């Protein structure tokens, strides 16, 4: 497994995120962090200032689930349970979204991905060396703050998973499946962690 993760990082650690990829491959920053930590908020600010395409896998899944049908219903149920959807379909969606935005020479912020080992394996299978992963941006804040933010967001988001019961399940999933992924990348010195407990603009200054 260690090698599998390592293989997704086929890039020079020293290259700047903003630099064009000489290979013409898209360059990718994975934006990770717990639910409600502020990933989407910070990505939006990065996009305002820099030429990145922002893709939130959660947003892609919500869009897909709205289409209904068997797949849509299944996605909806999984998301309402605070669990992770199957990776093959998710990475297919993600790759298609990346292609739609323009594949070559693009810079992507992939928000909320990868969330577990299966996500990484599937990335490797479907994308692998076709993209250069630059680093992982970890938006970090305590569970108490995340919960407060999610409950507040839930007042207006219309998201079926921004309720207390699902929030707790999402935290469980995050701790069990996603934190180990961040910790692994940390050991590889590929994580740039930002304290997200401060006001949005202060967090962004650090980002
Ligand atoms: P994520 O994409 O990680 O789930 P969001 O960016 O949607 O998180 O943020 C969750 C909620 O918290 C949103 O309502 C957002 O406006 C709010 N929020 C994000 N960052 C901050 C911050 N630094 N301080 C206060 N509220 C924030
Ligand atoms: O990132 P976001 O909080 O928008 O994700 C919402 C939900 O989408 C997650 O709780 C999970 O059910 C699903 N998801 C997933 N796999 C990902 C990203 C999101 O299953 N990589
Ligand atoms: Mg988000």
Q: Is the peptide bond before 114 cis (omega within 30 degrees of 0)?
A: yes
Query: Using one digit for the tens of pLDDT, what is the confidence trace for 176-187?
Result: 999 999 999 999
* Secondary structure element (H or E) that encloses residue 172, with its range: helix 164-173
What is the CA(35)–ligand 2 centre distance, in A?
9
**Interval between CA 137 and ligand 3 midpoint (Å):** 14
DSSP string, 86-104: PHHHHHHHHHHHHHHH--T
Lowest-pLDDT range of 7-16, 17-26, 193-202: 7-16
| 7's tokens | 């293989």
Instruction: Report how far residue 140's alpha carbon sits from residue 146's, in angstroms, rounded to the nearest whole number.
Output: 9
| 25 Cβ below 6 A of ligand 1 | no
What band does 24 get if pLDDT is binned at 50, 70 and 90? confident
| pLDDT > 90 in the chain, percent | 87
Residue with tokens 């250069």: 132
Choice among 23-32, 86-95, 136-145, 172-181 with the minimum mean pLDDT: 23-32
Ligand 2 contacts CB of residue 170 (under 6 A): yes
**30, 32, 33, 36, best to mutate for ligand 1 pocket (most atoms within 8 Å of CB):** 36
Encoding tokens for residue 114? Answer: 């990868």
* pTM (two decimals): 0.92
Which residues on adjacent β-strands are paired with residue 194? 139
Query: What is the C-alpha separation between 172 and 185, in angstroms, rounded?
Result: 20
58 CA distance to ligand 2 middle (Å): 4
Mean pLDDT computed over 42-52: 97
Note the pLDDT of residue 22.
Answer: 63
Distances 144 to 5, 34, 35, 37, 101 between C-alpha atoms, Å: 30, 11, 11, 10, 36
Closest ligand to the CA of 155: 1
Atom of ligand 2 nearest to the CA of 161: 10
Q: How far is CA 36 from the centre of its chain?
A: 12
């Amino acid at each position: 497994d260690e090698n599998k993760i390592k293989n997704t990082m086929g890039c020079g650690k020293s290259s700047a995120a903003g630099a064009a990829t000489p290979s013409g491959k898209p360059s990718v920053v994975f934006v990770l962090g717990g639910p409600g930590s502020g990933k989407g908020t910070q990505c939006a600010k990065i996009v305002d200032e820099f030429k990145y395409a922002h893709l939130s896998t959660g947003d892609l899944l919500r869009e897909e689930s709205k289409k209904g049908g068997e797949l849509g219903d299944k996605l909806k149920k999984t998301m309402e349970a605070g669990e992770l959807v199957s990776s093959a379909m998710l990475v297919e969606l993600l790759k298609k979204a990346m292609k739609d935005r323009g594949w070559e020479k693009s810079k992507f912020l992939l928000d909320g991905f990868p969330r577990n080992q299966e996500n990484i394996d599937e990335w490797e299978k479907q994308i692998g060396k076709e993209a250069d992963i630059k680093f992982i941006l970890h938006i970090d804040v305590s569970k108490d703050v995340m919960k407060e933010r999610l409950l507040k967001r839930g007042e207006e988001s219309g998201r079926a998973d921004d309720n207390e019961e699902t929030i707790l399940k999402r935290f469980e999933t995050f701790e069990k499946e996603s934190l180990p992924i961040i910790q692994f990348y940390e050991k590889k010195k590929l994580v740039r962690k930002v304290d997200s407990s401060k006001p949005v603009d202060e967090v962004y200054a650090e980002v």
